[in-house]
Amino acid sequence: MATMPTRIDQTLFEAAKAAGELHSRSAAQQLDHWARVGRELEASPAVTHDEIARVLAGQASYDALTDRAQAFVRVSWNDQVAERIAGLDLADQLRSTGQPWVEADADGNVVVREPGSTGA
C-alpha cells in the first residue's frame, strides 16, 4: 500500500498515539483506522452523522440505532475512553491525598507507596 505524506494537527496526532497504544497500533495506523471509519460512516446510507451525534450527546437512545450505527457509536466511545485513560495519572492523584496506598508491582508483590514517593 502506497502512503502519501500529510500534515496532521499535533493534538490529533497525540490522541491517535494514545488511542493506538491501547489497540497495538502506531499513531499512523490509528489515524488510518479513524479515516476508514469516517469514510464508511459518510458512505453509509443506513447511518447518519446526526443520529450518531445525538446519541453521543445523550440526546437519543443508543438502542434505537441500527446495528451499523451502534457500531460507529461504540468506536467513538472506545476512542473517548482511550483518550481519558491515557490522560490519567492515578499515582499523582493518590499522592495528593497525603495518604499511603497499596498496589502490586510487576511481579505481583504488594508494595506500600508513600505520598512523597516517586516510584509508583
Show the cell assigned to 3: 502512503
From 27, 23, 19, select the one nearest 82 (Cα to Cα). 19
Q: DSSP state, 106?
A: T
Q: pLDDT digit of tens for each residue in the chain (120 aa)?
A: 677 888 888 999 999 999 888 878 889 888 888 888 778 777 777 777 788 888 888 999 999 888 888 888 888 888 888 878 878 888 888 888 999 999 999 899 999 998 876 665
Domain that includes residue 103, residue range: 90-120
pTM, full prediction: 0.48
Q: DSSP state, 62?
A: G
Phi and psi at residue 78, to the nearest 5°: -60, -40
Are 44 and 78 found together in one domain?
Answer: yes
Q: How many domains does the chain have?
A: 2
Are 17 and 53 found together in one domain?
Answer: yes
Q: Which amino acid, residue 16? A: A
Q: Is the distance from CB of 54 to CB of 60 less than 8 angstroms?
A: yes
Residue 103 covered by a domain: yes
